[in-house]
Structure 1
Amino acid sequence: MEMPEQPRSRRQTRAAILTHLLQSGGSFRPPLARAVRLSEASLSRILFDLKAEGLIEEVRRPAPYVGGPTGLVSLDDSVALGALELTSQWLSVGVGSLSGELHYTERVPLPKKPTIESVGRVFREALTLLRDWTRRRRIALAQVGITIPGLGRLSVSGNPIIPCDVGRIGDMFAELFAEVPVTFTNSVVAHATFHRCRTENYPFNDAHLFVFVGQGVAGAWVDDPIEDDALDPVELGHMVFGTDGPRCRCGHHGCVEAYTSLPALADLLRATETELLQLGPDWVTTIPLTSRVRRELRQRLFRLGLAIGNTLNVKPCRGVVVSGWPSHLAEEDRKAVIDGIDACLLGGRKLAQVSVAFVPPSNGNDPQAALAFAAFCLTRSGGMPAASTEAA
């Protein structure tokens, strides 16, 4: 017997509609009503409010079938969002729309050896640029997303990856943007959001593990967007595979990140990280891979698979999405990741019914991930943000 569903608050119902529109890119009314489990009459009432508030628009489109609906409901692109994305080289700042279009972007370089003080100054410079740009154009930001690599429970003020005091940055933000809601998050959560909302034909709709292989290696549990723990970072990159391994930036030796991150790949290929990012998918054909290097690559990818399989042993789920440089490789090289998962996942991959999908990397196009995260925060609040600073 099915349990009756808990009644949803107005905010939750609005959040369900807006988040569905964000992830689908737009919908006709009948499928939208089905997706968010509302009658068409109830949906109409809420759409009326959302339209009046300037959060959605409805455009007449040819009906998908004779006598079918003609009003395509989508998020209103005149809503402005702010995005700040911290990477190892710079802090990207931008303003964009709910569909991911950037209207303004600027990069403030980080010093070679960043400290909490110097990173604080970089944030002040970026926030001042953002304030001046929006003020000149009389643009009011509806939400700002700020993404920081490695941000987590252990690093609320000090951050082992890029030193940065989130509390101090939050105060700075409140001083320059008094009424604007801001949410901080770990970079991997923002990249997971970016793919979930912007990748066409994203492979999974239900709960899955998202793994990001970039400057670092990290994961995020991705679940129903309306739940509070819809996006939860998981530090699988710091699983240690023998303390005699290469040194990781976290201070330990032999972490999976020390073998498989972009800097580790650059080192193996005798290239620089910047070269790899500039080459994009072409590094695979531009940089000659000797059989020794290819063998080493596969061993490293096998380790990545072991780390993913171990993570699934702790918290089982049916889907894994891998984003980052492994996605550029040919299927026979990528297979090493799947073999690694199979080699340590209880019962093996087939028995555990785990599907693995690869999506293109999203690093190098900052602040797109932070912008997608800001859009997600706005839709998940049902467009009714509490004007307070939240830490993810």
Structure 2
Amino acid sequence: MEMPEQPRSRRQTRAAILTHLLQSGGSFRPPLARAVRLSEASLSRIVFDLKTEGLIAEVRRPAPYVGGPTGLVSLGSSVALAAVELTGQWLSVGVGGLSGELHYTERVPLPVKLNLGSVSHVFREALALLRDWTRQRRVRLAQIGVSVPGLGRLSEFGNPIIPCDVGHISDMLGEMFAGVPVAFTNSVVAHATFHRCRTENYPFSGAHLFVFVGQGVAGTWMDDPVEDDALQPVELGHMVFAADGPRCRCGHHGCVEAYTSLPALAELLGVTEADLLRLGNEWVTTIPLLPRVRQELRERLFRLGLAIGNTLNVKPCRGVAISGWPSLLSEDDRKAVVDGIDACLLGGRTLAQVSLAFVPPSTGNDPQAALAFAAFCLARCGGMHAASTEAA
């Protein structure tokens, strides 16, 4: 027997509308009402409120069919969000809108010697630039999203990728941007959010696994964005495949990340990591792959596939999206990832009914991932400050 649906609060209903618009890019009223399970009359009342607050806009567009609706509902452009994104090279800050447009961005390089003190100094410098820009233009921020590589359960004991005192940085943000909601996440969640909300024709709409191959290798389970556990990181990059393998930044040897991260790829290709990052997506056409290197690359991609397949064996799901440098390779090379997944799943992908899609790399476009995460946070709380009064 199907359980009756629980009544939603005003915040939850607003969140359903905003997250749908964030993921779809815009919708006419009838399909929007169906998607968020509201009558058109109820939708109209909430759309009126959201338009008044500048969270959404409605523009006239040609009707999709004769006699159809002409008002396309999309996210508004008057709400300002701040993005703070830490990468292996610098700290990016920016101010942008709900739809991803950036109005301001600044990058402060990281020092050669990385420790808690030197990284905190970079944060203070970058956040001061952000504060000054918003003050000079009287920009009122609705949300700040902060993306930090490797942020997770053990982060209070020291960040494993870039030394970063999250508690101290949180205090810094509270001091400089009093009253503005701040949300921290790790890079994989920020990049997953960016792809889900900004990639045209993103391959999955339901529950799936997103895998990010960059400075590190990680995944996140993605589900209904209104749920509290919509984004759940999974450290699949730290599955150990060879106890005598290369040392990983986590302290173990032979993790899949130690074979397939960008630093590991740079070493295999015989270039510095800085040169690889400078080439961006062009490395795949610039650096020739010798037969020996290509074979080794495929073996490493097979291990990546094994790690993904093992993850799906533990928690099955119907879709996997992979972003990062493997997406740039030819289908012949990428087949090694597919083979690795098939080697793990009982009966292979066909019987397990798993769809696999490669999406473009999103490294190098910071702070866009942090901005998408900030938009997601604001949408998920219905555009209402956490302290605001809840209405039924």
TM-score, length-normalised on structure 2?
A: 0.97
* Residues in 2 aligned to 1:194 and 1:160: alpha-carbon distance in whole angstroms: 23
Partner of 1:15: 15
Say yes or no: does 1:375 pair with 2:375: yes
Q: CA deviation at 1:250?
A: 1.4
Partner of 2:85: 85
Partner of 2:25: 25
Q: Is the 8 A contact 1:180 1:387 kept in 2?
A: no
Counterpart of 1:272 in structure 2: which amino acid?
T
Q: Secondary structure at the match of 1:156?
A: helix
Residues 17-75 of structure 1: CA distance to partner in whole angstroms, max 9, x if unpaired? 00000111111000000110100000001001111111111111111111100001011
1:315-330, aligned counterparts within 5 Å? Answer: 315-330=315-330
Q: More displaced, 157-166 or 24-33?
A: 157-166
* Residues in 1 aligned to 2:260 and 2:50: alpha-carbon distance in whole angstroms: 45
Q: CA deviation at 1:127?
A: 1.0
* Residues in 2 aligned to 1:114 and 1:278: alpha-carbon distance in whole angstroms: 20
* Residues in 2 aligned to 1:277 and 1:162: alpha-carbon distance in whole angstroms: 17
* Residues in 2 aligned to 1:243 and 1:387: alpha-carbon distance in whole angstroms: 50
* Residues in 1 aligned to 2:287 and 2:161: alpha-carbon distance in whole angstroms: 28
Partner of 1:314: 314
Over 3 Å counting, the alpha-carbon distance change for 1:158 and 1:360 in structure 2 is: same
Partner of 1:171: 171
* Residues in 1 aligned to 2:146 and 2:90: alpha-carbon distance in whole angstroms: 13
* Residues in 2 aligned to 1:204 and 1:275: alpha-carbon distance in whole angstroms: 33
Partner of 2:236: 236
Partner of 2:112: 112
Residues 279-331 of structure 1: CA distance to partner in whole angstroms, max 9, x if unpaired? 33332221111111110000000000000011111111110000000000000
Say yes or no: does 1:363 pair with 2:381: no
Partner of 2:283: 283
Gaps of 5+ in 1: none
Q: Secondary structure at the match of 2:240?
A: coil
Q: Secondary structure at the match of 2:107?
A: strand
Residues 190-237 of structure 1: CA distance to partner in whole angstroms, max 9, x if unpaired? 000000000000000000000000011010000000000101111111
* Residues in 1 aligned to 2:182 and 2:99: alpha-carbon distance in whole angstroms: 19
Q: Secondary structure at the match of 1:153?
A: coil
* Residues in 2 aligned to 1:293 and 1:262: alpha-carbon distance in whole angstroms: 15
Counterpart of 2:331 in structure 1: which amino acid?
E
Q: Secondary structure at the match of 1:257?
A: helix
Counterpart of 2:136 in structure 1: which amino acid?
R
Partner of 1:130: 130
* Residues in 2 aligned to 1:276 and 1:155: alpha-carbon distance in whole angstroms: 28
Q: CA deviation at 1:274?
A: 3.1
Counterpart of 2:343 in structure 1: which amino acid?
A
Q: More displaced, 235-244 or 189-198?
A: 235-244
* Residues in 2 aligned to 1:25 and 1:71: alpha-carbon distance in whole angstroms: 14
Gaps of 5+ in 2: none
* Residues in 2 aligned to 1:56 and 1:345: alpha-carbon distance in whole angstroms: 43
Say yes or no: does 1:257 pair with 2:233: no
Q: More displaced, 368-377 or 1-10?
A: 1-10
Say yes or no: does 1:181 pair with 2:189: no
Q: CA deviation at 1:252?
A: 1.2
Q: CA deviation at 1:387?
A: 5.6
Q: CA deviation at 1:10?
A: 0.8
* Residues in 1 aligned to 2:154 and 2:315: alpha-carbon distance in whole angstroms: 21
Q: Secondary structure at the match of 2:154?
A: helix
Q: CA RMSD in A?
A: 1.2
* Residues in 1 aligned to 2:334 and 2:138: alpha-carbon distance in whole angstroms: 48
Q: More displaced, 162-171 or 374-383?
A: 162-171
The percent identity for this pair of structures is: 83
Q: More displaced, 329-338 or 158-167?
A: 158-167
Q: Is the 8 A contact 1:323 1:362 kept in 2?
A: yes
Say yes or no: does 1:97 pair with 2:97: yes
Counterpart of 1:333 in structure 2: which amino acid?
D
Q: Is the 8 A contact 1:157 1:167 kept in 2?
A: no
Q: More displaced, 339-348 or 24-33?
A: 339-348
Counterpart of 2:381 in structure 1: which amino acid?
S
Partner of 2:40: 40
Q: CA deviation at 1:347?
A: 3.0
Give the number of equivalent residue pairs: 388
* Residues in 2 aligned to 1:109 and 1:87: alpha-carbon distance in whole angstroms: 10
* Residues in 1 aligned to 2:27 and 2:243: alpha-carbon distance in whole angstroms: 52
Q: Is the 8 A contact 1:15 1:381 kept in 2?
A: yes
Q: CA deviation at 1:152?
A: 0.5
* Residues in 2 aligned to 1:313 and 1:117: alpha-carbon distance in whole angstroms: 42
Q: Secondary structure at the match of 2:59?
A: strand
Q: Is the 8 A contact 2:54 2:77 kept in 1?
A: no
Counterpart of 2:377 in structure 1: which amino acid?
C
* Residues in 2 aligned to 1:125 and 1:346: alpha-carbon distance in whole angstroms: 52
Partner of 1:71: 71
* Residues in 2 aligned to 1:373 and 1:94: alpha-carbon distance in whole angstroms: 13
Q: Secondary structure at the match of 2:282?
A: helix
Structure 1 consecutive aligned stretches of length 4 or more whose deviation exceeds 4 Å: none
Q: Secondary structure at the match of 2:18?
A: helix
Counterpart of 2:117 in structure 1: which amino acid?
E
Q: CA deviation at 1:335?
A: 0.6
* Residues in 2 aligned to 1:351 and 1:74: alpha-carbon distance in whole angstroms: 39
Residues 88-144 of structure 1: CA distance to partner in whole angstroms, max 9, x if unpaired? 111111111111111111111111221111111111111111100000000001100
